[in-house]
Amino acid sequence: MQAMVRFGAAAIAFTDVVARIGPDDWDRPGLGAWSVRSLTGHAARALTTVIDYLQRPAPVREVPDTAAYFLAAHGHDDEVAARGVQAGAALGADPATAVARLAAEARAAVDAATADDADPVIPTAGGGMLLSDYLPTRCFELTVHSLDIARACGIPSGLDPHLIADAAELAVAVGIRTGSAESLLLALTGRAGLPAGFTVL
């Protein structure tokens, strides 16, 4: 399963970026209201949700594909921010080690769940969906937030270009479904800039 391979690569890449965060960088501004610690905690939820969801399969598939997840799984910004702070605090005194442990657990859980080419339906914030459709959303989160962390700390991300390309393709797919196709095409071809604060999410 290609999604499983990509998820493993994204988890390792995220772990590598977190391992390069300096001891004095955890409290520096990360993204929006988050510190680097809170941003890392939020990103690590891309690992913990996989571990959690695989422990309780969903009875029915409700989300048809990966892009549809982002349209279905909208949360309130303040709730997302609070969960990130809580997740960052839960990483404890050695966040890098905690992230490495979570990445290993998530990869092992995926390996076990996809033995014999199985593709279970799992519960998600958007509804029941195939694991193979959900994993690319986790790759997206891990990749984008690895870039956020690297930028916040002034360190190279070292990300595989294939991971970045996958995330970019998914962002465009989501943007098309949210009615931003024209704006994206004009911006990507150098004909216009994107509006201030534009996002496909």
- What are the chain's domains? 2-163 (1.20.120.450)
> Is pTM beyond 0.75 here?
yes
Sign of CA dihedral 171, 79, 26, 29: positive
Round to whole Å and give the CA distance between 132 and 134.
6
Q: Look at residue 73 in the predicted model and tell me its pLDDT.
A: 79
Per-block mean pLDDT, blocks of 10 residues, the chain (201 long): 92 98 97 96 98 95 96 80 95 98 98 94 96 98 98 96 97 96 96 93 85
- Greatest Cα pair distance, the chain, in angstroms, is 48
- Tell me 197's DSSP state: T
Q: Look at residue 118 in the predicted model and tell me its pLDDT.
A: 94
User: Strands, DSSP E only, in the chain?
Assistant: 29-31, 34-35, 121-122, 129-130
Q: Look at residue 143 in the predicted model and tell me its pLDDT.
A: 98
